[in-house]
Amino acid sequence: MKNNIIIAGVPRAGKSTISRRLAKQYGYQHISMDSIIAGFEKCFPETGVNTYTGLSSMDTLRLISGKMAPFVRAMLDSGEYDEFQPGMVLDMYQLLPGDYMKYIHGANCEIFYFITSDVTPEERFAIQKRYDTEKDYTFYKSEEELREGAVYIVEQSICMKEQCQKYGLPYFETAKDREQTFDLFLQGIVMEKHV
């Protein structure tokens, strides 16, 4: 198994939860790319990394993914985490499988996608409400905004699933049987680490 792990996918699919478990149980250094992207938006607007550009949800996802994937590759190529065993677990929303393959594939990392594509927007809205906490930016959004966002999240999940299938990348559906999915994923990580 490679030294670093990227946990990618959509909001409230369990990226941060599974990343924190990997950090706690196995000693990975947890890095949230959402925080780094927020820093880019605030301090370096000239990069064009901006979640609120007025573009469609899918176009915003494509824009940020295309800009952040080379940045993630540079982080991995720096070798900063190669000396640690294990290295880092990086959780990231805005990274499409196609951009992973174009910019990051071949680096010292493995990637796993966590998505919620097998649900209706209304079911996705219920997931958002169930797992939102005060720490999440969506916690303070109106129900109307969350319902609109649920449509986008399902659309993005379907896109990520299709790209994962195209490139042979592993993905996990967490809309149903979330905890069982997490347990199966962690069991797989344990088995890989001991092979």
pLDDT digit string (tens) for 51-85? 877 889 899 999 999 999 999 999 999 877 777 77
Percent of the chain's residues with pLDDT above 90: 56
Q: Under DSSP, is residue 138 helix (H, G, I), strand (E, B) or coil?
A: helix
β-pair partners for 88: 29
Select the more confidently predicted residue: 132 or 47: 47
- Where residue 1 falls among pLDDT bands split at 50, 70, 90? low
Among the residue ranges 31-40, 78-87, 92-101, 158-167, the one predicted with the least confidence is 78-87
b/e map of 171-181 (b: 16 or more CB within 10 Å)? bbbbbeebeeb
- Where residue 133 falls among pLDDT bands split at 50, 70, 90? confident
* Domains recognised in the chain with CATH numbers: 4-190 (3.40.50.300)
CA dist 75 → 34, 43, 112, 178 (Å) = 15, 19, 18, 30
